[in-house]
Structure 1
């Protein structure tokens, strides 16, 4: 993308976040029905998820009708286009339905197959994290600033995050447990916020598995723009989801990959 295209699309990214915020915030900590999308388990979805994605899609269709869309709630449209928006209207729905403000609206742009723009908007905390892959920024109650990851070379010094150990299969779990035992601290329940904290230099890595494209692609430009690294567990591209490792320090990332690359391939 040209510099002007990046500027225009970044401004539009904030318009999309504004539309999502309007829908999510009016439902947070209010009365609404919670539906379950998963037979034999629990995968919640609310009116906030659906309405926020519908609002974002309407704006994209009006302003960029040739762009594709991949959304968690309403599927794929023109997903082979040069530019494709990737949407998770409420990442962290379990947090949302329990009133915990560790959720966010994720909006990403994939250009020619690569993540090029990303946004995490959290309207209850009045925070936004966004990035272009070259730089990343924060705006919120603490003011505005450029995001930067922090130095942390060793696992023993690292603070790490994951949404829940239940993400890991019985094959994967022992490898995560061994890393947790060595790390300084691991925190759970973070959803998309953990990745934002890597970009903000508040923690050092996130390890997760079983992710979908809309769970991770919007976060990659934010972390990479802040100086971090996002790959799968074998060092390949993570933008389609699956097993994901995000680190603030490339040296730590390499050490974690050496531990995770031994995990047998997913069936």
Structure 2
């Protein structure tokens, strides 16, 4: 268990990393931009993705060179401290290149058991969602408030979010639709901002598949600090990626998991 001064130092550094990424991402947002695909199935990447991760890595190399790093664009760098920084410089590059403000910068610090603290930053709106051992907070400039999930316990009253309507494989998509049919409202396309809205008490569920560790480490920390749950569809730790079932309450989590695995 890290001592409180260590946690505070890590939180301060996470904010510095987010500030550095804001500069790089805002340079190119809603501006002419070259986009290339990392795969044949259109997995876009831009100079903003690469420069934002490079800026965060440079700061980590200066301040905490003993820590490991796992980033979407530049892979894994081994460390010796037992801590790893998990970075997604732009979660939602498709949203970014479309000009929608639902992408974000994801930052987490984790040990072998999972995330210790995390951050979801939306540079264009100036919103920052943070979670750690002392709880979760939202900030925008000088404005700050605590984050807390909703108290919803039944699917019939729940709002569900996901990013892609197909939700993974055909089998996973069918499982998602079972949950969606039981919910009051389903919305699509919000990337990491959906997890932030869950932590902020605006929605009740986020269900996704086909995820990487850098997609989920930051959101897991924020949601858990706000009082929610974030696991795989089977209820296991989700920080290694794969599937995600994030819920406001244990009862809602159990009900969704039952339908996902029916």
TM superposition score normalised by structure 1: 0.95
Aligned partners of 1:133 and 1:222 also within 8 Å: no
Tell me what 1:17 maps to. Answer: 18
| Number of aligned positions between the proteins | 261
3-state SS of 1:167 partner: coil
Q: How much does 1:257 deviate?
A: 1.1
- Matches of 2:154 and 2:114 in 1, distance apart? 30
- Relative to structure 1, is the Cα distance of residues 223 and 211 closer, same or farther in structure 2, using a 3 angstrom cutoff? same
Q: Is 2:208–2:245's contact at 8 Å kept on the other side of the alignment?
A: yes
Preserved CA contact (<8 Å) 1:69 1:78: yes
1:2 corresponds to which residue? 3
Q: Deviations over 1:122-159 (max 9, x none)?
A: 11101000111541100027931010001111111100
Native 8 Å contact 2:167 2:209 kept in 1: yes
Residues 35 and 46, structure 1, Cα contact 8 Å, conserved in 2 = yes
RMSD (Å), alpha carbons? 1.3
Contact 1:134 1:221 in 2 (8 A): no
Deviation at 1:167?
2.9
Q: Secondary structure at the match of 1:203?
A: coil
Q: Which moved more, 1:175-184 or 1:211-220?
A: 175-184
CA distance in 2, matches of 1:55, 1:147: 28
| Distance (Å, rounded) in 2 between the aligned partners of 1:4 and 1:71 | 26
Corresponding residue for residue 119 of structure 1? 119
The alpha-carbon deviation at position 15 of structure 1 amounts to 0.4
Structure 1 residues 44 and 85: alpha-carbon distance in aligned structure 2, compared to 1, 3 A threshold? same
1:112 CA displacement? 3.2
Q: Is the 8 A contact 1:137 1:147 kept in 2?
A: yes
Residue segments in structure 2 that go unaligned for 5+ positions in a row: none
Asked whether the 8 Å contact 1:35–1:45 carries over to 2, the reply is yes
SS at match of 2:207: strand
For residues 11-55 of structure 1, give each alpha carbon's deviation from its aligned partner in whole angstroms, at most 9, with x where no partner exists.
11100001000000111001121010012x110000000000000
Instruction: Return the offset for 1:223.
Output: 0.3
Point out where structure 1 has 5 or more consecutive residues left out of the alignment.
263-267
State the partner residue of 2:86: 86
Map of 2:35 onto structure 1: 34
Could you list the structure 1 runs, at least 4 aligned residues long, displaced by more than 3 angstroms after superposition: none
Cα pair 2:164 2:188 within 8 Å, conserved = yes
1:265 equivalent in structure 2:
none
- TM-aligned CA deviation for residue 258 of structure 1: 1.2
- Looking at structure 2, the residues matched to 31 and 81 of structure 1 have their Cα atoms a distance apart, in angstroms, of 41
Structure 2 counterpart of 1:243:
243
Task: Work out whether residues 116 and 133 of structure 1, in 8 Å CA contact, stay in contact via their aligned partners in 2.
Answer: yes
Cα distance between partner residues in 1 of 2:79 and 2:133: 21
Change (3 A) 1:86 1:159: same
In the alignment, the residues of structure 1 paired with residue 123 and residue 172 of structure 2 have an alpha-carbon distance, to the nearest angstrom, of 34
